[in-house]
Amino acid sequence: MEEKLSVSPASLVDQLVVPGDVILDLSSMANQTIKLGGGLRQDGDVISVIKAGKLRFSKPNKYWVESSHKRYVPSVEDHVLGIVVDCKADNFLVDIKGPSLAFLPVLAFEGGTRRNIPKFQVGALLYVRVVKANPSMNPELSCTDASGKAAEFGLLKDGYMFESSTGLSRMLLSSPTCPVLEDLGKKLSFEIAVGLNGRVWVNADSPSSIVIVAKAIMNSEFLSAAQQRIMVKKLFDKIQSSTV
CATH code for the domain of 42: 2.40.50.100
35-36 and 62-66 beta bridge pairing: parallel
CB 81 within 8 A of CB 161: yes
**φ/ψ bin of 172: left (φ > 0), alpha (ψ from -120 to 50), beta (otherwise):** alpha
**Pair 85, 128 in one domain:** yes
Provide the pLDDT for residue 9.
63
Q: Over the range 17-27, which residues count as b (16 or more CB within 10 Å of their CB) and which as e?
A: beeebbbbbee
Q: Is 96 exposed, middle or buried (0-12, 13-18, 19+ CB in 10 A)?
A: buried
Is position 4 within any domain? no
Q: Which domain holds residue 84?
A: 78-155
List Cα–Cα distances, 72 to 65, 68, 69, 100, 185, in angstroms. 13, 10, 7, 10, 28
Provide the pLDDT for residue 36.
84
3-state secondary structure of 183: helix
**Pair 168, 151 in one domain:** no
**Pair 139, 96 in one domain:** yes
Whether a cis peptide bond, with omega within 30° of 0, leads into 176 is yes
pLDDT averaged over consecutive 10-residue blocks of the chain (244 residues)?
A: 49 82 81 80 89 80 75 90 95 94 94 82 97 91 92 94 90 88 95 96 96 95 90 91 70
Number of structural domains (the chain) is 3
Is position 31 within any domain? yes
**Pair 145, 215 in one domain:** no
Is position 7 within any domain? no
Provide the pLDDT for residue 52.
80
Residue 2: how many CB atoms within 10 A of its CB? 10
